[in-house]
Amino acid sequence: MNLRKLNPFRGLPNAREVWAWGMYDLANQSFTLLIITLLFSLYFKQVVVGEEGRGDALWGAVYGGSMLLVVASSVLLGALADAKGWRKQMLLGTGIGCVVLTCSLALTGPSTVVLAAALFVCGNLMYQLGENFLASFLPDVSTSRNIGKISAIGWTMGYVGALPLLLITVGSMLVFGRQETEEWRPYFVFAGLWFLMGMIPAALLLRNDPARERMPGSLLKDSFGRVWTTAHQVRRYRHLALFLTGFFVYGFGIQVVVAFASILAADFGFSGLQLVLFVLQLTVTAGLSAAVTGLFQDRIGAKTTILVFLGVWIVSTLALLGIAMWEGAPEWSLWVIGNGIGFGLGGLGTAGRAMVGRCTPRHRAAEFFGLWGMTYKLAGAIGVLSFGLVKEGLGNVGALALLAGFFVVGAAIVAFVNERAGVLSARQAEREYRAGLPVRGGSGVLPPTMGA
């Protein structure tokens, strides 16, 4: 076998830059996996809060509140980064801030609810904003022909990074006997240091972009001006807007799974090492899904890819609901459903980011990906908060029925998106920008609606 053919960077003219961009995806997995999904969510519920019956609602409120802060700042900061050429500085600045706050989570313990909430809210704000700035580099490190492939490379590298994270966690639990939730604080420091080391290639190899606009007035006025212009062009980018609407709805479900994965698994009887192994299996499946998606999504289109994976999510969440309603369901059934959830998570993530990249003018990348991030984070704030309240009030059955509904409605909306028209709108906007033409609102130069 020719091993060179397995190299995902083979044939890319900017392989080192794509690798550095993907390394940041690999680095920040330590926060999304160890802090949000696996360890800190359960630690917060069982150790920090401790009081029976309050943990789910409090975790939902803390997570949702942090997402509301991201929503309030994403588009404005994205517009500022575009106007002043600060994308790389903001990417690295939010990353370093997240590292410091993640390590500080080790200072929390029983009855430190206020401290734990403050550290997590600020850390998650830094992480989520950094995700937006990282995604905004996608149109720069790719072309219209390979944007799906390169999005998948970054997403896959994230899951590749998750594997050693989980293996190290499992190994240390076995060697040092840290399987009990109250003994997990050293892992928070480990997560922060992992993030710090992994962002070094991006700091060295990603290019700084020059200021693209020098508008008169203050930075705040400049940023609001760009956002105001985009708001007046919503009809021009109506297919991207329609996709973001569907993304907003099915994003409820994705964010719930990310925020409540370990809590739900614990509800089904998993604990300690078994819980980590369950998330490890889900991560492996998600990584394989992201890698495979890169092989075909540029050919069949981002929209079709998204609908396929939404179908996987619908089947998986309905099966999870069935297990919750079936008393005495065998444990192996949850392991099987975990594979479906992981498969949907990996493929849907890379396809959604590619869809936004295809429909985004390059000169407004940080702003539009800020809008993408704002949409996803608002979905997290609403979805996680509502899920936590429904779970506490109606139990797992009612909450899981709500979860499945998120994906059904989201798929119905995405079905009406015209991907080709969205791409043509973005390219036309780029040509007008290069020609120095004034920005036009309304339907402008949008081509006639074509079949998706």
Residues 62 and 120 sit within 8 Å (Cβ to Cβ): yes
* pLDDT given at position 348: 85
How much is the pTM? 0.72
d(CA 23, CA 257): 24
CA nearest neighbour of 41 among 190, 187, 192: 187
Dihedral of alpha carbons 48, 50, 54, 60, sign? positive
pLDDT digits (tens, 9 = 90+) for 352-371: 878 888 888 877 776 777 77
User: Exposed, middle or buried, 1 (CB in 10 Å: 0-12/13-18/19+)?
Assistant: exposed
Q: Return the pLDDT at 449.
A: 30
What pLDDT tens digit does each residue of the chain (452 aa) get?
A: 455 666 777 778 888 999 999 999 899 989 988 898 888 988 998 899 876 657 777 887 888 888 888 888 877 787 778 777 788 999 999 999 999 999 999 999 998 999 999 999 999 999 989 988 898 888 888 887 787 788 888 878 888 888 888 889 888 888 888 888 889 999 999 999 999 999 999 999 998 766 555 444 555 555 555 555 555 555 667 888 889 899 999 988 888 877 777 777 777 777 767 777 887 888 888 888 888 887 788 888 889 999 999 999 899 888 888 877 777 667 777 788 888 888 888 888 788 878 888 888 877 776 777 777 778 778 877 877 777 777 776 677 777 888 888 899 999 999 999 888 888 888 888 887 777 665 454 333 333 333 33
